[in-house]
Chain A
Amino acid sequence: GENVEQHPSTLSVQEGDSAVIKCTYSDSASNYFPWYKQELGKRPQLIIDIRSNVGEKKDQRIAVTLNKTAKHFSLHITETQPEDSAVYFCAASNSGYSTLTFGKGTMLLVSP
């Protein structure tokens, strides 16, 4: 099955800095890569996703890049704000699987 590794496990930045979270996956057939944000005490919610026919996708201050050759994808947050503080999960799946495989999560702390 799929295996997703996520780094770093914790990330502390100053408000206004950029943050980058990286994930690698093992199954070359994976072709869907979502990112979920989980605020403290709340449920995970989808913030952005990318499919394998696209190399980069942006939505305001967040962007995701995908390198299929290297089997890794990254989440980029620019101009971080305290409300970006949360746990972020990457995930991967493909049409052959009925499930998403999640990374272990990254706790992002943005200090004012």
Chain B
Amino acid sequence: EAQVTQNPRYLITVTGKKLTVTCSQNMNHEYMSWYRQDPGLGLRQIYYSMNVEVTDKGDVPEGYKVSRKEKRNFPLILESPSPNQTSLYFCASREGQNYNSPLHFGNGTRLTVT
């Protein structure tokens, strides 16, 4: 089954403790992206990647890192999480050459930073 898999689904952590949220897709998509969803603010893009070893900042990249060493994986790294990063995070992928192809979202990761 074609899918985007995120782990973990839920994560509670403390301020300053480094964490990684994993994202993997099995559709051979070139393009992958991370969004955060907050009430009243919709979906805001954090980082995206057009292909292996190519990453770019989205609208809200501060406090986050990403890497794209393999086509299928696009982990989101919070080096020193803070409470304002408490949010619902979604990874998404699409065909890279077709900018108007559908985005496929993962099931989301709900992060709480205390």
- Chain A residues touching B, range: 20 to 34
For residue B50, which residue of chain A has the nearest CB?
A98
Kindly state the separation between the CA atoms of A105 and B48 in the bound complex, as whole angstroms: 21
Nearest-Cβ distance from residue A51 to partner chain B, whole angstroms: 7
Q: Count of B residues near A, CB < 8 Å?
A: 23
A100 and B103 contacting across the interface, CB-CB below 8 Å: yes
In B30-77, the 8 Å CB interface with A consists of 31, 33, 35, 40-45, 48, 50, 56, 58-59
21 pairs, CB–CB < 8 Å, chain A vs chain B: A1-B59, A32-B99, A32-B100, A34-B102, A43-B107, A44-B43, A44-B90, A46-B102, A49-B100, A49-B102, A89-B43, A97-B99, A98-B56, A98-B99, A99-B48, A100-B45, A100-B103, A102-B42, A102-B44, A104-B40, A105-B43
A-side interface residues toward B, CB under 8 Å? Answer: 1, 6, 9, 31-32, 34, 36, 42-46, 49, 51, 89, 93-95, 97-100, 102-105
B-side interface residues toward A, CB under 8 Å? Answer: 31, 33, 35, 40-45, 48, 50, 56, 58-59, 90, 99-100, 102-103, 105-108
